[in-house]
Copies of this chain bind each other. A is one copy, B any other.
Amino acid sequence: MTLELYHSGLTSCSKKARLGLKEKGLAYKSHFIRLDKFEHHDPAYLKLNPNGLVPTLVHDGKVIIESGVINEYIDEVFPDKPLKPADAYGRAQMRIFCKMADEYGLPATRIPTWTRTKAEQIKSMPQAEFDKIVSETPLVDHRLKLEALKGEGFTKKEFDEAYGKMDYIFKRCETALAEGPYLAGDMYTLADIAMLPYIAAFKDVRPDLLKAHPHTNGWLERVMARPAVQATYLPSAETVPAGA
């Protein structure tokens, strides 16, 4: 049996998939994809992942994309140390938070994060190189984000939307975690794994939010202390390019 994960270390969706595998105690071959060198646009990689995103899991030759789908898959294929509730209603509660992480957490994080990590590179890139990269980007929303960074940056409306989504996530997490101790109830699940990268990112962008939401703050401290989370979120040989 072989598991191979293509990922980019400490980016949010890479952390989700890496953490899922580590919580399950599954060994995998790690392939670091350099986003700054646009290795995710390489034709060989696009054959695995037509979205041109990380992560991608290859399990005995079977290709699975999307971190949330990857985590549901590995939990179903490897039943030890389950990360989904045993009952359907618990799984539904879990999936509501997984969906919120994907649709609210990720886009909210991208606006400040891309501004911080990508804007300088994109802004200073020769136009011809930039045009080539845009033309090789499969997803239209990513093309538009690159064009925003090349121009005036993200608009006030885009930042307002991102911050509004952060507010809403904290509200919903706080309500769930007041009952808790985890997002889907008694059990640490894929919902916690899915939401963690965003709450951890918002901690830096919006420290006011964690102060105002003590149950979420307590959950963050509790979850961050898990050995698998430490192994995933702290820099390691796996989180830097080969040879770096």
Contact = CB atoms under 8 A, between A and B. Distances in A.
A238 interface: no
A170 B76 CA distance: 29
Contacts of A167: 140
Contact of A99 (B68, B89, B138, B175): B68
Interface stretch (A33-41, A90-98, A115-123, A223-231): A90-98
A136 interface: no
Interface residues of A, number: 36
A96 B73 CA distance: 11
B141 A165 contact: yes
Interface in A148-190: 157, 160-161, 164-165, 167-168, 172, 175
A26 interface: no
B141 A66 contact: no
Contacts of A205: none
B89 A73 contact: yes
B68 A92 contact: no
A157 B172 contact: no
B91 A76 contact: yes
A145 to B, nearest CB: 10
Contacts of A157: 144
Contact of A96 (B65, B89, B92, B144): B65
B92 A73 contact: yes
A175 B138 CA distance: 15
A99 B66 contact: yes
A64 B95 CA distance: 10
